């Protein structure tokens, strides 16, 4: 039975790292899965320069509908995306079978300190200049998890 793992949080929190480790764990269990990374898909869609609420909802809805299309065919989907938008969380819960929402949180000061991509020097950043609408009912909330703890956490709590 396929699932949709929706890995969300602000920029630089470790979503992609978490999603990659989850993908490797699914591969080890021989579970057919695909990883959709929001940064990569945004680049493909050429939507990276517009961070208006309307554009962010549009792009997030594409992620959701793509996840639905793939999971309805029996493939587990991992979506790694900011998409901190209430209407997207609600749509996903209503429309995606076996939907598992994973919210990753980290102290903003730590994120900014380790901001190798200089994301937080930009003017449009979710969680700072753009309001973040955190999920109200995430299945899992990971706060300040260390990279070397992720694999164990996934094995113990998620898979």
Residues whose CB falls within 8 Å of the CB of residue 122, separated by 6 or more in sequence, listed in order:
none
More confident residue, 32 or 117: 32
- Minimal CA–CA distance to 51: which of 124, 119, 134? 124
Q: Name the phi and psi angles at 155, rounded to 5.
A: -60, -40
d(CA 26, CA 89): 23
CATH number of residue 92's parent domain: 3.40.50.300
Dihedral of CA atoms 150, 141, 137, 37 in degrees, nearest 10, equals -50
pLDDT band at 32 (very low <50, low <70, confident <90, very high): very high
Report helix, strand or coil for 119: helix
Name which residue leads in pLDDT, 124 or 141.
Answer: 141
Mean pLDDT value of segment 69-87: 96
Flag the least confident range among 6-10, 78-82, 151-155. 151-155
In terms of residue numbers, what domain contains 84? 4-158
Tell me, what's the pLDDT at 123?
Answer: 63
- Percent of the chain whose pLDDT exceeds 70: 92
Residue 84 has pLDDT above 60, yes or no: yes
Q: Determine the Cα–Cα distance for residues 32 and 16; give it in Å rounded to an integer.
A: 19
Pairing of strands 140-143, 99-105: parallel
Three-state DSSP state, 6: strand
Which one of the listed residues 83, 109, 123, 129 is annotated catalytic?
A: 83
Least confident of 9-23, 49-63, 130-144: 49-63
Average confidence (pLDDT) over 7-16? 92
Alpha carbon 28 to chain centroid distance? 21
Residue whose C-alpha is closest to residue 127's, from 106, 102, 144: 106
Give the total number of structural domains in the chain: 1
For residue 80, indicate whether it is catalytic. Answer: no
Cβ-Cβ contacts under 8 Å for 9 (sequence gap 6 or more):
15, 82, 84, 103, 104, 105, 106
């Amino acid at each position: 039975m396929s699932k949709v793992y929706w890995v969300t949080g602000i920029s630089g929190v470790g979503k992609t790292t978490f999603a990659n480790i989850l993908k490797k764990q699914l591969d080890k269990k021989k579970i057919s899965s695909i990883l959709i990374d929001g940064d990569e898909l945004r680049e493909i869609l050429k939507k990276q320069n517009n961070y208006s609420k309307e554009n962010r909802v549009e792009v997030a809805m594409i992620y959701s509908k793509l996840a639905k299309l793939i999971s309805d065919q029996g493939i587990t989907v991992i979506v790694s995306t900011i998409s901190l938008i209430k209407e997207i969380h609600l749509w996903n819960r209503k429309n995606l079978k076996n939907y598992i929402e994973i919210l990753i949180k980290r102290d903003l000061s730590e994120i900014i300190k380790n901001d190798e991509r200089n994301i937080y020097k930009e003017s449009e950043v979710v969680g700072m200049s753009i309001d973040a609408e955190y999920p109200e009912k995430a299945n899992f909330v990971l706060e300040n998890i260390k990279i070397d703890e992720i694999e164990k956490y996934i094995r113990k709590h998620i898979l």
